[in-house]
Amino acid sequence: MLYLWLKAAHLIFVIFWMAGLFMLPRFLVYHQEAEHGSPEATRWIDREAKLKNIILNPSLIIVWLLGLVLAVQIGAFSQGWFHAKLLFVLVLSGYHGWMIGYARKLAKGERKLTGKQLRLINEVPGIAAAVIVILVIVKPF
C-alpha cells in the first residue's frame, strides 16, 4: 500500500513540476518583451522567483526523491525503459536549471534569445513528458 501512496505523490509532484516548466518559459517571453528596469520587468522578476521557489524547485526535489525510492522498490535500475526515462528526466532537470539561469540573465538585462526562440524552447517539456509517459506505460524495452 505504501508503494501506491508514493507513486501517487510522485505523479502529483510531476504534474506540479511540469506545470512550472510550461509556465516559466512563457513568463520569460513576457519578461523579455518588457523594457529592462521597468515596473513590468520587475513584476516578471517577482513572478519568476515565486514560481521557482514555490512550485518548480520544491517539486523537482520531491519528484527526484520519490522517483528514486520507487525505482529501488520495483528494481527499475535493471530495466532498459527506466534508463531511457532517467535520461529524459535528467534532460528536463537540465532544462529546469537552464531556464532558471536564463531568468537570472533577464533580470540583469541580458537578452540572448528572441521571443520566438523562447517559444520554441517551451516545447521541450511537452515532448519529454510524452516520451516519458510512453516509456513508463508501454515499457517498450
Please write the tens of the pLDDT for every residue from 46-98. 999 999 999 999 999 999 999 999 999 999 999 999 999 999 999 999 999 99
Distance in angstroms (rounded) separating the CA atoms of residues 64 and 99: 18
Query: Which pLDDT belongs to residue 80?
Result: 96
Given pLDDT bands bounded at 50, 70 and 90, which one contains residue 33? very high
Query: Which pLDDT belongs to residue 45?
Result: 98
**Domain range list for the chain:** 2-138
Nearest alpha-carbon partner for 51 in 113, 94, 96, 109: 96
- The verdict on whether residue 10 carries a ligand-binding annotation is yes
Query: Which pLDDT belongs to residue 78?
Result: 96
Query: Which pLDDT belongs to residue 127?
Result: 97
Please write the tens of the pLDDT for every residue from 113-133. 998 999 999 999 999 999 999
CA distances from 77 to 47, 50, 68, 116, 124 (A): 38, 35, 10, 39, 25
Query: Which pLDDT belongs to residue 82?
Result: 97
Given pLDDT bands bounded at 50, 70 and 90, which one contains residue 22? very high
Spatial contact of 25 and 119, defined as CB atoms under 8 Å apart: yes
Spatial contact of 90 and 141, defined as CB atoms under 8 Å apart: no
Cβ atoms < 10 Å from Cβ of 138: 9
Query: Which pLDDT belongs to residue 71?
Result: 97
For residue 120, what are the contacts with CB-CB under 8 A and spacing of at least 6? none
Span 2-13, average pLDDT: 97
Given pLDDT bands bounded at 50, 70 and 90, which one contains residue 7? very high
- The verdict on whether residue 85 carries a ligand-binding annotation is yes
